[in-house]
Amino acid sequence: MDSQPFSFWLLPGDAERTQLAQLIRDLAARHGSRPFAPHVTIYGGVHTPQDDLPEILRQAVRGLGPMALRVRGLDCTDQFFKSLFIDLAEHPALTLLSQRVRAALARPVDYQLQPHLSLIYADLPAADKRRIIDSLSLDLEEIRFDEVALVTPADPARGWHDIEGWQFPWRCRLDDASA
């Protein structure tokens, strides 16, 4: 295959990761969906054999430390992978990270960075999503992120909908990235 799907994710620090992972598991159990790791997508697209993804990400995070993204609230869309989410404010370091990745790829796509952290992936009616939002009590003003990950679907033919098959072949702590 000429190109393979991948994403680079920003992962929350331990305290927030534990809290958000539990919320995602609870929502998945209540609404018949699959749980997944809490994350913010930095960039998603396809890579070619000449793209050394760990090296691209290693270079992209150089000089960047952990970052805290301000929580703007909860929202939902009709997009499966943006069903119900925490809306996050833009952050200069996150924007720079996404731009650096795009610039380093052999065949970049027009990925539009929209900082958010999904809480559920489900085809639910909009009214149900609004009820879920109204029932949630989110006590986070910001979320601290200290790690990045390369994520790929296990089976490119099934793609991203095979949530249990997502693979994490490489990770890097942001505070270690400048070394």
Looking at residue 27, its pLDDT comes to: 97
Over residues 46-53, the mean pLDDT reads 89
Q: Provide DSSP, 105-153.
A: SSS--------EEEEE-----HHHHHHHHHH-----SEEEEEEEEEEEE
Q: Band the pLDDT of 49: cuts 50, 70, 90.
A: confident
Q: How many domains, the chain?
A: 1
pTM for the full predicted model:
0.92
CATH number of the domain that residue 75 is part of? 3.90.1140.10
Output the six-digit token pair for 79.
């997009």
Read off the pLDDT band of 70 (50, 70, 90). very high
Domain that holds residue 68: 4-176
Tens of pLDDT along 142-177?
Answer: 999 999 999 999 887 788 988 888 999 999 999 754
pLDDT in tens, 2-39: 678 999 999 999 989 999 999 999 999 999 999 999 99
Over residues 98-125, mean pLDDT: 94
